[in-house]
């Protein structure tokens, strides 16, 4: 039994279809992503086919179907950020983490996501790591920013 | 009524009509790719756009209501350019394999491209890498050919109440598929094939068994037996420009022989047999307090639907196999015995207006001593392909009669092809089984026609039986919910998966409108009206089969060969 | 946060007076005096002890305001100083964040720029000694009899603020957004009280229509006229939806308004709902705005506690529930029918109209959707009347408009100007012009649906019609400035990339057409060396049909997103054809942005052979031994620019 999921779904026993997106948001918030089991369980509660739920979930940017990295890096690709050079920052991030946007590093430490606009256009280009903003980022800053979040590999090795 | 102007001509229209409806009535053709008769317009394809005076841009005629004094230009240069551009956009990254496509010559995209005189690739697009989904026994999906008109999604949801597929993703990455992009085999798809019939391109098609059938025909060790479903003889002609509803049974039989089938049998014979079994089962359930309402089991999509969505009602299903499977079973038992044939050497082919029958034939329950009742199922469309491949034309052939003993049928068995027909045939025989007398008038009008749910209360002797016939599984779902909520005046329910029944099955000729469906239905009613025997229990060979082999309906042996069981299915619902 | 407790919020009420009596002007003379004293105190016209304000909107937080705030508290603790610390919203001058204001007893409030945590000690040390660093000060509030700070400009003379007409933003960055009483003390909820007491819904619709207020989110339909469609449709239930799904990349007006002054939105929404007879209202807000959502939730609880939401508001018989719905990230949900589908729990795909939402909208009921700025205009409009409102603006566009200034502009931030202000004034006066001495090239206005406005049209007066005339549109108000280092083909490509991903995918012209347009633009910005076969031919062919394709998409798409999707391309093609031609025929990017068309070379005189570039090169295109100059193999180079980024000696030349 999945108690986290059950607790959320219990709150929505008599919900209608308009509760679907809030439920998906809550489940993702609690579990990190939407698993097949979660989607099936939500379908059961709302009496909705899984294909419909998957259709809704894949329509919106917010939902994902695999877990995020321990450090979630978001890069804003809004117009202001673009004009201020966020494409180069994205390249630098992809190089630094050796993954493409939308992926998670193999060790599960970092995931990288492109977001449409964080709404902090005055500070462009902006990236956020686990919700912490970094303003006016230049490609050459990326290395330092990422390293400051990296769990020190040597420290880890020593601990072993 | 008010006047509107179309292409500078005054035309009467009434409030509430869409522009497209008026155009259709006036015989003005504008192309559509996403329009579905009787369903709410989605306005997705934009092919039907017209110019309306005083309005910016172009207006989708399918979704826009007419209003007084409206001035419409349907084929202005602007509208034509827009339509042409839309086709060009779709062609930009369409797989260029028309010559190898199952819809070659019968594709909306192809014919529009021809109509608009597209002779060059004006826009070239990056092709998408999609995998073909051939996981199901019945339906193949090829997303690269999909133009996202959404008709399959809507028919699956709104008509069939299944929703096995939906749109996935957004924008240029949008596709259509089951949840989590899985194969159809793990989805709730019931393999009815209605999606294929509405697909404008080759993105959806049946899984073809043509090769296996041809191989068997070429194998001298095999006795190839073929049966044809009731609804085929009134629809196969359309593939040869014969008008819908015309019964071409004799010509078809002759064609089948020339193709090389060793025996040509009629599934309607097995339908008569089904009536004997199912009618007796119903009478027994009523008399002995069995599970009611009893529900028919001829339609394999419906069976899968119950196993997925209403497993608690599986006991309501008749245990009878479908006519296809009964025919398969008696051919490889009674007939093999009688003709002294090795059942393993019989290759049994069935011609069905249906894609789900392919799935049904593959069910493990549908075999006897590990020999499958049916070896291959061809849809009406596949049959037409084989006939053409053999250089035959139904227009210039003389009719021939079927083989005995399973070519004999009553017209009641033929009615299995239309919604309400199983019920009508069953009631005719049940009346006899219960009262020992025939009905005064064998035609039961209340359960005829194309309505989604038809109901009647029929008096048989002292008994009053409530019956209902539904087609289109969204209607079936509606009826099931009523039963679950305690409705108890209905004793016998006939469900056909496809709207209108097998005449509109997912294996039937593509691109036919409601008029064609109606004509096929009328064709079957005509056959019934003209028939000398309209009663299953008067089928001489059925009776002989009982005398010589099964002893009686619902006997032990009958149960072994002619009945089946069901099991709950865990799929992504 | 202060004033969270709703019971305390009533403390400003005079003895024996109810909120209703206050808002309905039914106080006795003594009570009136008491109230005005209380208000004056809440408005901090005078303070008894120091007050420190810090902007903790998203921009402030992004610039480090949280750390600054912590440091302020530490400072006060260490020095044992009794002072009020208030978190306020964004005053609009994002570039100067974190902004800290200080108000000492007897002196006017003064704002300081870029106060990171490390500057707090010094700043507060000085301020408490009545000393300031005038370079750090932005401006001071009007003194009103208090002792002015010397050498600091007053806010009403400050070049960023003086040309603005701040109606919607009146409270932003000034008041504590979490405080109900501050909103009330600044005149809040008087408009709602006036509305429900004095006007019928029909009268309200008339007033709003007469005021000339037009929708601030897109097409600019007359707000009052739109309401009437819903008002005149009979129904047991009607809905009002506030669209706060600010999906336009480059716009953050709604976020700032909600974060800085949430009660203004609630009051406006209550007025609007009353106008059409809706008893349920939704605020559809981006999930990416957690702070704004938090502020709204608090404000709704406060307003409900005060009887300004819920049943029988101010004893008028008017009921209203406000529900927050978090969007899940889809630009197309700015389109009304898509937004409705999203609230209903469906894919946010638009549907054909008619029926219009005003007749059959959310759950099939009459529904009106307005955006945040439109609704936030209502309180001031109602208090001051429709003539006051229409006295500002141009012939067809009345009132003010909020713009989010960003891109290559000195003063990035949020501004509110009277309609009719010239674009030149916004960019060069308020915005402070282009930084680094670069030349202005264009301003992109209206987001992905808008267009670029070049130099020659800088003097147009901003209103709905004039913007359309030059190929742009008002849109939501994102105003992204571009200079000579911005490539317009790249900008067009950026928007097409955005649109083809954000298109809902339903109608063919938008889904396929925008993607084709993107592919055409990609072809002309792709380097020759990665071209093969007929790529070059397609490059020329594509551009020939770009215009035709754009026009078909405009004419035939289902919704507003598609109908305006080609605008960024058509506008840049119109004004910056030479740049396109340079890309297509000369294979070069004049602005030096399209990296595929750039070549990288190492200046042997500058390179010391540190090997950093060759280590960073993702395709091993850089050769060279340590301590000798390196060399880039042009055929291998993919033009990623990594070498130039890492080179500490400026030895990588980009052409």
Please name each of the domains of chain B with its CATH number.
2-89 (3.10.20.740), 211-562 (3.40.50.1780)
Residues A30 and A87 in one domain: no
Residues C518 and C381 in one domain: no
pLDDT at C620: 87
> Whole-angstrom Cα distance, residue C453 to residue C444?
6
The answer to whether C541 contacts chain B (CB < 8 Å) is: yes
Tokens of residue C353, six digits: 């109209």
**Which of B34, B46, B87 to mutate against chain C (most C CBs within 10 Å)?**
B46
Domain C-terminal end among C386, C414, C430: C386
Which residues, in sequence order, are bridge partners of residue C480?
A: C406, C444
Neighbouring chains to A with at least 3 Cβ pairs closer than 8 Å:
B, C
Residues A51 and A85 in one domain: no
pLDDT digits (tens, 9 = 90+) for C373-430: 999 999 999 999 999 999 999 999 999 999 999 999 999 999 999 999 999 999 999 9
Residues C478 and C504 in one domain: no
CA-nearest of B533, B535, B527 to B235 is B527
- Find, in chain B, the residue whose alpha carbon is nearest to that of A43: B573
pLDDT, tens digit only, all 573 positions of chain B: 999 999 999 999 999 999 999 999 999 999 999 999 889 999 999 999 999 999 999 999 999 999 999 999 999 999 999 999 999 999 999 998 999 999 999 999 999 999 999 998 889 888 888 999 999 999 999 999 999 999 999 999 999 999 999 999 999 999 999 999 999 999 999 999 999 999 999 999 999 999 999 999 999 999 999 999 999 999 999 999 999 999 999 999 999 999 999 999 999 999 999 999 999 999 999 989 999 999 999 999 999 999 999 999 999 999 999 999 999 999 999 999 999 999 999 999 999 999 999 999 999 999 999 999 999 999 999 999 999 999 999 998 999 999 989 999 999 999 999 999 999 999 999 999 899 999 999 999 999 999 999 999 999 988 899 999 999 999 999 999 999 999 999 999 999 999 999 999 999 999 888 999 999 999 999 999 999 999 999 999 999 999 999 999 999 999 999 999 999 999 988
Residues A92 and A28 in one domain: no
Which residues, in sequence order, are bridge partners of residue B224?
A: B347
Q: Is residue C32 part of a domain?
A: no
pLDDT at A79: 84
Examine the residue annotation and report whether B146 is marked as an active-site residue of this protein: no
| DSSP conformation class of B563 | B
Q: What is the domain count for chain C?
A: 5
**Which chain B positions have a beta carbon within 8 Å of C549's beta carbon?**
85, 89, 123
Residues C455 and C443 in one domain: yes
Residues C311 and C448 in one domain: no
Tokens of residue A54, six digits: 């998957």
pLDDT at B407: 92
The mean pLDDT value for C269-293 works out to 95
The answer to whether A32 contacts chain C (CB < 8 Å) is: no
pLDDT digits (tens, 9 = 90+) for C596-636: 888 888 998 999 999 999 888 878 899 989 999 999 988 88
CB C360 within 8 A of CB C237: no
In degrees and rounded to multiples of 5, residue B110 shows phi and psi of -60, -45
Q: Does A36 sit within 8 Å of B573, measured CB to CB? A: no
pLDDT at B426: 95
> Whole-angstrom Cα distance, residue B346 to residue B219?
11
Q: Is residue C64 part of a domain?
A: yes
Catalytic residue from among B318, B350, B471, B519: B318
- Find, in chain A, the residue whose alpha carbon is nearest to that of B161: A49
Q: Collect contacts of B456-461 with beta carbons under 8 A, ≥24 apart.
A: B457/B489, B458/B427, B460/B427, B460/B430, B460/B431, B460/B434, B460/B435, B461/B431, B461/B434, B461/B435
Q: How confident is the model at residue C529 (pLDDT cuts 50, 70, 90)?
A: low
Residues C201 and C324 in one domain: yes
Residues A90 and A127 in one domain: yes
Q: Is residue C35 part of a domain?
A: no
**Which chain B positions have a beta carbon within 8 Å of A40's beta carbon?**
572-573
**CATH code, C448:** 3.10.20.600
CB A55 within 8 A of CB A70: no
Q: Is residue A85 part of a domain?
A: yes
Helix H or strand E segment including C512:
helix C508-524
Helix/strand/coil for C436 = helix
> Whole-angstrom Cα distance, residue B175 to residue B143?
7
Q: Is residue C193 part of a domain?
A: yes
pLDDT digits (tens, 9 = 90+) for C322-341: 999 999 999 999 999 999 99
Residues C102 and C241 in one domain: no
* Residues ≥6 apart with Cβ < 8 Å to B388: B239
The count of other CB atoms within 10 Å of the CB of residue A65 is: 16
Residues A77 and A43 in one domain: no
- Enclosing domain of residue A124: 71-159
Give the nearest partner residue to A36 out of B163, B165, B180, using CB atoms: B180
The answer to whether A46 contacts chain B (CB < 8 Å) is: no
Residues A23 and A79 in one domain: no
> Whole-angstrom Cα distance, residue C155 to residue C138?
8
- Enclosing domain of residue C115: 51-140
Residues A77 and A38 in one domain: no
Evaluate if residue C9 carries a pLDDT over 60: no
In chain B, which residues touch C (CB < 8 A)? 33, 41-47, 49, 57-58, 60, 63-65, 78, 81-82, 85-86, 89-90, 92, 122-126, 147-148, 150, 167, 169-174
Tokens of residue A29, six digits: 């918030």
Catalytic residue from among B360, B382, B408, B424: B360
Please report the DSSP string for C623-655 in residue order.
Answer: E--TTS--EE-TTT-----HHHHH-SS--EEE-
Tokens of residue B77, six digits: 């240069």
Tell me the nearest-neighbour CA distance from B69 into chain C, angstroms: 18
Residues C236 and C367 in one domain: yes
Residues C282 and C406 in one domain: no
* Residues ≥6 apart with Cβ < 8 Å to C80: none
Give the nearest partner residue to B89 out of C351, C509, C554, using CB atoms: C509
CB C265 within 8 A of CB C309: no
pLDDT digits (tens, 9 = 90+) for C195-233: 999 999 999 999 999 999 999 977 799 999 999 999 999
The answer to whether A15 contacts chain C (CB < 8 Å) is: no
pLDDT at C1: 36
**CATH code, A149:** 3.40.30.10
Catalytic residue from among B365, B464, B551, B560: B365
Evaluate if residue C538 carries a pLDDT over 80: no
- Find, in chain A, the residue whose alpha carbon is nearest to that of C595: A88
How far separated are the first and last CA of chain A, in Å rounded? 34
**Which of C89, C251, C259, C406 to mutate against chain A (most A CBs within 10 Å)?**
C406
Residues A144 and A79 in one domain: yes
Examine the residue annotation and report whether B62 is marked as an active-site residue of this protein: no
Domain C-terminal end among C360, C386, C412: C386
Q: Is residue C57 part of a domain?
A: yes
Q: Exposed, middle or buried by CB within 10 Å (0-12, 13-18, 19+), for C390? A: middle
Residues C501 and C404 in one domain: no
Structure pTM?
Answer: 0.93
Q: Give the distance from CA C600 to its chain's centroid.
A: 38
CB B517 within 8 A of CB B503: yes
pLDDT, tens digit only, all 160 positions of chain A: 688 999 999 999 899 999 999 999 999 999 999 999 999 999 999 999 999 999 999 999 999 998 989 999 999 988 888 888 898 899 889 989 999 988 899 998 999 999 877 777 778 899 999 988 888 898 888 999 999 998 765 544 544 4
Distances, alpha carbon B291 to alpha carbons B287, B455, B483, in Å: 11, 20, 13
The answer to whether C522 contacts chain A (CB < 8 Å) is: no
Q: Is residue C158 part of a domain?
A: no
Interface pTM, i.e. ipTM = 0.93
**Which chain B positions have a beta carbon within 8 Å of A54's beta carbon?**
166, 168, 179-180
Alpha helices by DSSP H, listed for C369-487, are 372-376, 378-384, 386-390, 423-424, 464-469
Q: Is residue A65 part of a domain?
A: no
Q: What is the domain count for chain A?
A: 2
Give the nearest partner residue to A82 out of C251, C494, C504, using CB atoms: C494
Helix/strand/coil for B554 = coil
**Which chain C positions have a beta carbon within 8 Å of A77's beta carbon?**
249, 498
Catalytic residue from among B51, B206, B278, B308: B278
Residues C277 and C292 in one domain: yes
Residues C459 and C562 in one domain: no
Q: Is residue C445 part of a domain?
A: yes
């Amino acid at each position: 039994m999945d108690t986290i999921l059950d607790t959320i779904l219990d709150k929505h026993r008599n919900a209608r279809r308009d509760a679907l997106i809030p439920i998906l948001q809550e489940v993702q918030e609690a579990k990190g992503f939407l698993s097949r089991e979660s989607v099936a369980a939500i379908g059961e509660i709302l009496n909705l086919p899984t294909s419909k739920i998957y259709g809704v979930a894949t329509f919106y940017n917010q939902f994902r179907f695999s877990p995020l990295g321990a450090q979630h890096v978001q890069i804003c690709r809004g117009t202001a950020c673009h004009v201020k050079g966020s494409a180069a920052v994205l390249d630098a991030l992809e190089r630094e983490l050796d993954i493409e946007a939308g992926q998670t590093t193999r060790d599960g430490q970092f995931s990288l996501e492109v977001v449409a606009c964080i709404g902090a256009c005055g500070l462009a280009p902006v990236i956020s790591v686990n919700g912490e903003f970094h303003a006016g980022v230049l490609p050459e800053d990326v290395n330092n920013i990422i390293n400051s979040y990296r769990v020190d590999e040597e420290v880890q090795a020593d601990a072993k | 009524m008010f006047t509107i102007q179309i292409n500078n001509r005054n035309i009467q229209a009434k409030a509430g009509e869409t522009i497209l409806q008026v155009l259709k009535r006036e015989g003005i053709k504008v192309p559509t790719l996403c329009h579905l008769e009787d369903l709410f317009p989605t306005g997705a394809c934009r092919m039907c756009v017209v110019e309306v005076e005083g309005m910016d841009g172009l207006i989708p005629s399918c979704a826009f209501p007419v209003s007084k004094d409206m001035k419409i230009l349907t084929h202005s240069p602007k509208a034509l350019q827009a339509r042409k551009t839309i086709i060009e956009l779709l062609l930009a990254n369409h797989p260029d394999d028309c010559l190898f496509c199952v819809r070659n010559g019968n594709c909306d995209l192809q014919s529009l491209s021809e109509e608009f005189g597209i002779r060059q690739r004006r826009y070239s697009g990056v092709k998408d890498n999609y995998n073909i989904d051939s996981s199901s026994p019945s339906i193949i999906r090829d997303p690269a050919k999909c133009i996202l008109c959404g008709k399959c999604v809507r028919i699956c949801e709104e008509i069939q109440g299944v929703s096995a597929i939906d749109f996935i993703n957004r924008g240029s990455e949008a596709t259509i598929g089951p949840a989590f992009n899985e194969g159809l085999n793990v989805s709730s798809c019931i393999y009815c094939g209605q999606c294929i019939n509405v697909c404008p391109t080759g993105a959806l098609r049946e899984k073809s068994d043509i090769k296996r059938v041809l191989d068997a025909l070429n194998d001298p060790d095999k006795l190839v037996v073929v049966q044809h479903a009731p609804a085929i003889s009134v629809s196969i002609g359309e593939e040869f420009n014969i008008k819908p509803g015309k019964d071409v049974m004799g010509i078809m039989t002759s064609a089948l022989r020339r193709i090389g089938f060793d025996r040509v049998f009629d599934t309607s014979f097995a339908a008569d047999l089904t009536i004997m079994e199912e009618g007796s089962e119903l009478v027994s359930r009523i008399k002995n307090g069995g599970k009611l309402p009893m529900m028919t089991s001829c339609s394999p999509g419906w069976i899968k639907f119950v196993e997925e969505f209403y497993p608690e009602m599986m006991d309501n299903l008749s245990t009878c196999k479908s006519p296809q499977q009964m025919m398969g079973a008696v051919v490889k038992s009674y007939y093999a015995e009688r003709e002294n044939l090795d059942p393993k050497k019989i290759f049994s082919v069935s011609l069905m207006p249906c894609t789900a029958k392919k799935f049904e034939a593959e069910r493990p329950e549908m075999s006897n001593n590990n020999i499958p009742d049916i070896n291959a199922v061809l849809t009406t469309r596949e049959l037409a392909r084989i006939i053409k491949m053999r250089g035959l034309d139904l227009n210039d052939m003389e009719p021939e009669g079927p083989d005995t003993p399973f070519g004999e049928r009553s017209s009641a068995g033929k009615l299995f092809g239309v919604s309400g027909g199983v019920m009508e045939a069953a009631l005719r025989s049940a009346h006899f089984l219960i009262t020992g007398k025939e009905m005064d008038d064998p035609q039961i009008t209340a359960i005829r026609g194309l309505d989604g749910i038809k109901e009647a209360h029929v008096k048989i002797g002292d008994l009053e039986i409530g019956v209902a016939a539904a087609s289109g599984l969204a209607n079936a779902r509606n009826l099931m919910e009523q039963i679950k909520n305690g409705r108890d005046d209905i004793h016998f329910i006939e469900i056909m998966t496809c709207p209108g029944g097998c005449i509109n099955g997912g294996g039937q000729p593509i691109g036919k409108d409601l008029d064609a469906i109606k004509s096929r239905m009328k064709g079957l009613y005509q056959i019934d009206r003209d028939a000398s025997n309209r009663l299953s229990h008067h089928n001489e060979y059925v009776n002989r089969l009982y005398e010589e082999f099964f002893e009686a309906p619902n006997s032990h042996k009958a149960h072994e060969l002619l009945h089946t069981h069901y099991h709950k299915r865990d799929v992504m619902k | 946060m202060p004033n969270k407790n709703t019971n305390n919020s009533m403390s400003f009420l005079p003895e024996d007076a109810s909120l209703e009596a206050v808002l309905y002007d039914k106080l006795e003379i003594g009570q009136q005096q008491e109230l005005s004293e209380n208000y004056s105190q809440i408005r901090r016209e005078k303070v008894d002890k120091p007050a420190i304000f810090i902007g903790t909107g998203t921009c402030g937080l992004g610039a480090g305001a949280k750390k600054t705030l912590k440091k302020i508290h530490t400072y006060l603790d260490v020095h044992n100083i009794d002072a009020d610390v208030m978190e306020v919203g964004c005053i609009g001058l994002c570039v100067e964040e974190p902004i800290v204001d200080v108000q000492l007893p007897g002196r006017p409030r003064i704002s300081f720029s870029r106060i990171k945590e490390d500057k707090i000690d010094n700043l507060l040390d000085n301020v408490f000694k009545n000393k300031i660093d005038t370079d750090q000060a932005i401006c001071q509030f009007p003194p009103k009899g208090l002792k002015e700070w010397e050498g600091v400009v007053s806010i009403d003379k400050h070049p960023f603020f003086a040309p603005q007409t701040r109606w919607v933003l009146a409270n932003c960055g000034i008041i504590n957004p979490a405080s109900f009483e501050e909103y009330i003390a600044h005149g809040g909820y008087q408009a709602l009280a006036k509305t429900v007491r004095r006007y019928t819904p029909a009268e309200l619709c008339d007033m709003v229509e007469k005021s000339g207020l037009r929708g601030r989110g897109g097409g600019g339909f007359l707000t009052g006229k739109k309401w009437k469609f819903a008002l005149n449709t009979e129904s047991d239930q009607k809905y009002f939806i506030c669209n706060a799904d600010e999906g336009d990349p480059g716009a953050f007006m709604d976020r700032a308004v909600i974060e800085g002054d949430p009660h203004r939105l609630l009051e406006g929404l209550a007025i609007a709902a009353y106008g059409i007879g809706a008893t349920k209202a939704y605020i559809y807000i981006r999930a990416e705005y957690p702070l704004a959502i938090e502020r709204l939730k608090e404000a709704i609880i406060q307003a409900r506690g005060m009887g300004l939401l819920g049943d029988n508001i101010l004893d008028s018989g008017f009921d209203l529930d406000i529900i927050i719905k978090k969007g899940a990230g889809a630009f197309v949900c700015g389109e009304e029918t898509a937004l409705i589908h999203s609230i209903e729990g469906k894919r946010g795909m638009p549907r054909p109209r008619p029926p219009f939402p005003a007749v059959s909208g959310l759950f099939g009921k009459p529904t009106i959707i307005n955006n945040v700025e439109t609704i936030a205009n209502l309180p001031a409009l109602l208090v001051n009347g429709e003539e006051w409102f229409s006295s500002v603006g141009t012939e067809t566009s009345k009132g003010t408009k909020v713009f989010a200034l960003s891109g290559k502009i000195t003063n990035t931030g949020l501004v509110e100007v009277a309609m009719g202000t010239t674009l030149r004034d916004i960019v060069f006066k308020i915005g402070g012009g282009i930084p680094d001495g670069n030349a202005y090239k264009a301003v992109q206005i209206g987001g992905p649906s808008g267009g670029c406005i070049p130099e020659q049209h800088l003097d147009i007066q901003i209103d709905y019609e004039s913007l359309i005339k030059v190929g742009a549109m008002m849109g939501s108000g994102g105003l992204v400035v571009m200079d000579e280092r911005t490539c317009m083909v790249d900008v067009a490509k950026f928007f097409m990339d955005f649109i083809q991903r954000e298109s809902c995918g339903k109608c063919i012209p938008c889904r396929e057409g925008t993607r084709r347009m993107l592919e055409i633009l990609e072809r002309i910005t792709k380097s020759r060396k990665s071209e093969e076969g007929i790529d070059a031919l397609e490059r020329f062919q594509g551009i020939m049909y770009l215009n035709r394709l754009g026009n078909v998409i405009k004419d035939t798409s289902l919704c507003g997103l598609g109908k305006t999707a080609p605008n960024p391309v058509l506008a840049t093609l119109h004004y910056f054809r030479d740049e396109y031609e340079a890309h297509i025929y000369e294979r070069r990017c004049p602005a030096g942005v399209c990296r595929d068309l750039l070549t990288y070379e190492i200046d042997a005189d500058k390179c010391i052979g540190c090997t950093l570039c060759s280590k960073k090169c993702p395709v091993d295109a850089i050769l060279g031994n340590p301590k000798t100059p390196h060399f880039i193999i042009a055929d291998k180079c993919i033009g990623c620019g990594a070498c130039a980024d890492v080179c500490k000696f400026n030895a990588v030349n980009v052409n």
